[in-house]
Amino acid sequence: MRRQRWQFLAVGVTVVIGVMMFAATYDSYLNLTASYEQTYERLAFADMTITGGDETLPETIEALPGVQAVTVRHTADLPITIGDDTLRGRMIGTPATDQPDVNKIDVETGSYLSADGEFEAVAEVHVARTFDLSPGDTFNIIVGPGQEFEIVGIAASAEYIWPAASTQEIFPAPEQFGVFFVDENLVAQLPPSVSVRETLVLYHDDATTEDVDAAVHDTATAAGATSILTQADQPSNSTLQLDVEGFGEMAIAFPILFLTAAGMAVYVLLTRIVFSQRSIIGTLRASGMSARELRRHYLSFGLWIGTIGAVVGVLLGAVSGALMTRMYTGFLDIPDTVIVIRPSTIIVGLLFGVIVGTLSALVPARAAYKIEPAEAMRGAAPLMSGGKSLLEKIIPPLSRLSVRTRMTLRGMGRSKRRSLATVLGVVLALVLVLASGGMIDSIVNMIQKQFEVVNVQDASVIASEPVSTDLFAEIDATTGVTRAEPVAGFSASTTANGETLATTLQGFEAGTQMHGWTNPAGSLPSSGMLAGAGIADKLGVSIGDRLAIDLPTHDISIELEIVEFVDEPLGIPLYARYDVITEALRDAGIADPEALMAEPTVTTAMTLFDPAIERTATIDRLEDVNGVLAVQDARSLYNTVQQFLGLFYAFTGIMLLFGAVMAFSLMFNTISVNIAERSTEFATLKASGMSDRTIGWMIVGENLFLTLLGIVPGVILGVWMAGLFMGLFSNDSFNMSLMMSPWTVAVAAASMIAVALLSLIPGVRSVKKLDIGAVVREQAV
């Protein structure tokens, strides 16, 4: 037993990590879900958010069975300034004095709107943090005559836990988008081209969500709503669910990998122990020990490793689960943090350990009680049968290799299960590393594609007036701007086969340099439009279909044919040439479409910057141009993501470390056992004058070969698994496909080889230290 101390430790560590990962991630998953639910419940988060529709819609919906409350409010995105900064302010109408029935807010500092203070606002926590706002600060709306608002409170909202601007705009740059709650009466007064009316629906707790969803959906569609979002599709919630689901998947998949590895290691170790104790076993059997007692004895080994590992794992898991939950809710500003130690997680964690320990001890324990006393007491083990290796049979010329090399090849076949354990260790570790590495690669690649291939503009310049020829010329002439183009952007909604898609329609110049086109033709078509590939699934439409596109802010509908799909990472956008949209507007009966195309709320100019001139200076100069409302730096989100890259890689790093520990534990055990079993053989060869180095190379060769054997299926399975995870994460807002960097694969594979070499060191050293005299004297097996 003492000789196997390190092997037991390695196995134990694997069990601990497996159980710990399970307990920590599964608890975090449940804690997060509970935290969200508590916040959603407390703040009466809408089960359905409907935009537009006729005046009677709220009443009709309130009468539907299962509906508990309906709140109507108006929302408008307006340019505002906070100090020197200009940004898009989302003004959400909310009743003064009293919180609404649906979508309440959680005032963290200051107070809620008061009944008499007309131009009061409550700032949402994200914008408050970005601009360091506190009660008493002000901001200005800069359209029309302009208006100053005083901030009276800072609040969290269930709708903006993740501050997404819309389904199409999951990642607005924090300096360029902020949410404020202001008096509903003010927002309701704005013209319909500026504000939208939203109907928020809350269901009864005991209502069946799917049924009410369906009823509300049908009613709203019939009433001509432009966007119907269930709670599941609500942009903040759906983004957060991605994360939470990720935890959920990981909580099951990764621990299973670890526990499988731990099980293999226990199996290898116990098989070896039973084998080396066979003469004792024979003696005990001969002296009357029953097969049952014997089996129980060896099963108890597995049980102990499993139990001790599980207890330690559950304890560490509970602590790290609580830490993870707190970090997560803190990082995302989730108003409620629910941390519960769940007996169910503890029990399942313990069961995992115990079951893995016992199951993997079953076969060795059976082997123990099946040993024939007479045979076992003879001491020497029955000789394993030899044979050529599979490789030599397949490739006959290999038999011309040196005997040493042939011995190396055949060594792998000595114990097929043990070799399988080594291979499996590599495979499992690679799956773990590549599945997590692949996810992160894909996210990084997705962001990169969005900003380097698709949205190639440096900034969007929003003007307060129609972008006149003069203003346009001035933007173009600003130092640092190399190119400017007018771009029309409309909120749009389109319905087909009973499904509604809320999206944007953007109009670009024919030869635009502001956008990269991922459709097969690689450019904007001269008639019709391009649509995000996700539209096919979402609406059940295909290339060649003509879609009616509602532009709710203008109360008109135009028709455009889908010419090709674009493959963009974010959202399901619609694109057409500027002149194609103008023509479609004319067809829709608009008398002067050119004027409409130049209305301030829909018209922006996109710019490309001179890389030699400092970016922020160019942006500052653009902001100073008379008539320019806001300049949105297209790179700012990209830069934010880049800052988080370190965090992403740290996560992959931890998985790499865990994977390495797992592979090490398995390999270290199989190699130790392999060498222990062959000590007589090695001692004999050393006695015959074979050098330690030659013997060492045979061991290294054998195990490196097994490692390579594991790398191939490991990489395939790991990439496949990563693809599976990505598929699970895709939705309307993210079109995730697996983009695995060859570097990730190379680093993972190289790490496996490094781990194999590392785990060989103790084995090779033990050959060097082998006491030949003692071994040949003992005839130890």
Q: Which residues bind other proteins (CB under 8 A)?
A: 380, 383-387, 402-404, 406-407, 410-411, 413-414, 680-681, 683-692, 694, 771-773, 776-777, 779
120 or 702: CB nearest other proteins:
702
Q: Could you tell me the smallest distance in angstroms from the CB atom of residue 277 to ligand ADP?
A: 21
747 or 776: CB nearest ligand ADP:
776
Q: Could you tell me the smallest distance in angstroms from the CB atom of residue 774 to ligand ADP?
A: 5
Q: Could you tell me the smallest distance in angstroms from the CB atom of residue 422 to other proteins?
A: 17
Do the beta carbons of residue 247 and residue 240 sit within 8 Å?
Answer: no
For β-strands 147-157 and 138-141, DSSP reports them as: antiparallel
381 or 728: CB nearest other proteins:
381
546 or 768: CB nearest other proteins:
768
From residue 557, give the alpha-carbon distance in Å to each of 226, 493, 552, 581, 587.
11, 9, 8, 11, 10
From residue 199, give the alpha-carbon distance in Å to each of 56, 60, 75, 520, 691.
11, 11, 11, 40, 83
222 or 390: CB nearest other proteins:
390
And the tokens for 340?
Answer: 């519960």
292 or 769: CB nearest other proteins:
769
Do the beta carbons of residue 169 and residue 139 sit within 8 Å?
Answer: no
Q: Could you tell me the smallest distance in angstroms from the CB atom of residue 388 to other proteins?
A: 9
380 or 548: CB nearest ligand ADP:
380
87 or 775: CB nearest other proteins:
775
Angle value at C-alpha 8, between 6 and 13, nearest 5 degrees: 95
And the tokens for 683?
Answer: 């001692």
* List of E strands, 412-555: 459-463, 481-496, 499-508, 529-532, 546-551
The interface partner of residue 591, options being other proteins, ligand ADP, none and the CB cut-off 5 to 8 Å by kind, is none
For 691, other C-beta atoms within 10 Å of its C-beta total: 11
The interface partner of residue 691, options being other proteins, ligand ADP, none and the CB cut-off 5 to 8 Å by kind, is other proteins
Q: Could you tell me the smallest distance in angstroms from the CB atom of residue 371 to ligand ADP?
A: 27
* Element containing residue 82 per DSSP (H, E): strand 67-82
Q: Could you tell me the smallest distance in angstroms from the CB atom of residue 779 to other proteins?
A: 5
Give me the residues paired with residue 608 across strands: 483
Q: Could you tell me the smallest distance in angstroms from the CB atom of residue 760 to other proteins?
A: 19
The stretches of 730-741 forming alpha helices (DSSP H) are: none
The interface partner of residue 497, options being ligand ADP, other proteins, none and the CB cut-off 5 to 8 Å by kind, is none
Q: Could you tell me the smallest distance in angstroms from the CB atom of residue 393 to other proteins?
A: 14
For 393, other C-beta atoms within 10 Å of its C-beta total: 11
* List of E strands, 130-281: 138-141, 147-157, 177-183, 195-203, 225-230
The interface partner of residue 694, options being other proteins, ligand ADP, none and the CB cut-off 5 to 8 Å by kind, is other proteins
And the tokens for 153?
Answer: 């409170």
414 or 586: CB nearest other proteins:
414
Cβ-closest position to ligand ADP: 774
From residue 212, give the alpha-carbon distance in Å to each of 71, 200, 217, 718, 756.
16, 13, 8, 41, 57
620 or 778: CB nearest ligand ADP:
778
Length of the chain, in residues: 781
Q: Could you tell me the smallest distance in angstroms from the CB atom of residue 776 to ligand ADP?
A: 10
Q: Could you tell me the smallest distance in angstroms from the CB atom of residue 772 to ligand ADP?
A: 11
Q: Could you tell me the smallest distance in angstroms from the CB atom of residue 777 to ligand ADP?
A: 5
**What letter represents residue 360's amino acid?**
S
Q: Could you tell me the smallest distance in angstroms from the CB atom of residue 757 to ligand ADP?
A: 32
The interface partner of residue 145, options being ligand ADP, other proteins, none and the CB cut-off 5 to 8 Å by kind, is none
The interface partner of residue 1, options being other proteins, ligand ADP, none and the CB cut-off 5 to 8 Å by kind, is none
* List of E strands, 613-750: 628-633
Question: In 3D, which of 414, 416, 577, 427 has the Cα closest to residue 510?
Answer: 577
Indicate the Cα dihedral angle 706, 712, 713, 717, nearest 10°. Answer: 140
Burial 79-98 (b: 16+ CB within 10 A, else e): bbbbeeebbbbbbbbbbbee
Calpha distance 318→566 (Å, rounded): 46
- Listed in sequence order, the residues at least 6 apart from 65 whose beta carbon sits closer than 8 Å to its beta carbon are 207, 212, 215
3-state secondary structure 684-708: HHHHCCCCHHHHHHHHHHHHHHHHH
- Listed in sequence order, the residues at least 6 apart from 144 whose beta carbon sits closer than 8 Å to its beta carbon are none
Binding site for ligand ADP (CB under 6 A): 774, 777
Q: Could you tell me the smallest distance in angstroms from the CB atom of residue 358 to ligand ADP?
A: 38
Calpha distance 599→223 (Å, rounded): 28
378 or 546: CB nearest other proteins:
378
Question: In 3D, which of 127, 85, 98, 106 has the Cα closest to residue 42?
Answer: 106
410 or 586: CB nearest other proteins:
410
Q: Could you tell me the smallest distance in angstroms from the CB atom of residue 687 to other proteins?
A: 5
**What letter represents residue 224's amino acid?**
G
598 or 781: CB nearest ligand ADP:
781
698 or 715: CB nearest other proteins:
698
472 or 682: CB nearest ligand ADP:
682
Q: Could you tell me the smallest distance in angstroms from the CB atom of residue 381 to other proteins?
A: 10
Do the beta carbons of residue 659 and residue 432 sit within 8 Å?
Answer: yes
